[in-house]
Amino acid sequence: MKVFSNFDLTHYNSYKIKSACKKAYFPESEADIISIYKTEKNTKKIILGGGYNIIFSQSYYHETFIIFGDSYANIHKHGDNRIEAEAGINMKALSEYAYNQGLTGLEIFYDIPSSLGGAIVMNAGASGEEIKDVLISVRYLDLATLRVKEISCQEIEFDYRNSFFQRNINTVILRVLLELKHEKPELIREKMEGIKKARWEKQPKEYPNAGSVFKRPKGYYVGTMIENLGLKGLTIGGAQVSTKHAGFIVNINDASGQNILDLITIIKKKVFQEYGVSLEVEQRII
């Protein structure tokens, strides 16, 4: 396990916000993760996966970061059509692995830079598909007892961009079991590339961002509301409401987390004034 002091987090968040932390651990096993919590009992800890769907609100953190990256990303086929993977694996790598096994069900996550653990916490999804649709169970660490437990998909009680793990913050996802279906590889690849093409056409992939900023309220499209209010292109510091899709905020010039949060505050206020809708931020503010 690698440990760093005064660690630069700039390349560990998709907004590319400049930030750093006092200490960062890169665990390589479940034993490493348990060890961190035993030895750092009195230190506040922050779990970081792929750094997608988050906003760093500070330029420096005195908290200890536990970063689930390539060092905690083992994956293997479990039986005929199941995949078991560690929480740190990138969703793009996971979808590629499924494709190579001739298994379908993860194409929607191709070209999403989230970690598997982060996808489970947020019940990530798009176009009517969600990670819960292919989930069997999750192995996790209960921080209250430092015991490893397992929970089924049904017990997680998923909701739109919500899960048991958001409601129970004293948990750390360790490993995930998924069940997929067999399909012709060429059809899987066709869907993957089609999803990637559609995202690049509609989303501001040319600038650092963390995906959709707000959860979609029933009966409304967030991007349309923001655009109708004339907020498309609104800029504070280096952060801008995307001119390509108003549901995104992008880092166009060395934006700080506060720049992004200030834009969010303005958008929420104006949307409520005009539509009477209280927008809920989808991204995790740290």
Which active-site residues does the annotation give? 161, 212, 282
Question: Chain-centre distance of CA 90, in angstroms?
Answer: 10
The tokens 């800890």 sit on which residue? 45
**Contact predicate 179/82, CB 8 Å:** yes
* 238 contacts 255 by C-beta, under 8 angstroms: yes
CB 71, CB 98: distance < 8 Å: no
Alpha helices in 123-256 (DSSP H): 153-156, 164-167, 185-202, 222-228
Q: Give whole-number Cα distances, 264 to 37, 132, 182, 259, in Å.
A: 34, 28, 42, 9
Close Cβ partners of 102 (under 8 Å, ≥ 6 residues apart)? 182, 183, 184, 185, 188
Q: Is 241 helix (H, G, I), strand (E, B) or coil?
A: strand
Nearest-5° angle of CA 93, CA 210, CA 96?
10
Which strand (E) or helix (H) includes residue 249? strand 249-251
Cα 27 to Cα 169: distance, rounded to the nearest angstrom = 19
Task: Return d(Cα 101, Cα 77) in angstroms, integer.
Answer: 8
Q: What are 94's two structure tokens?
A: 């996971």
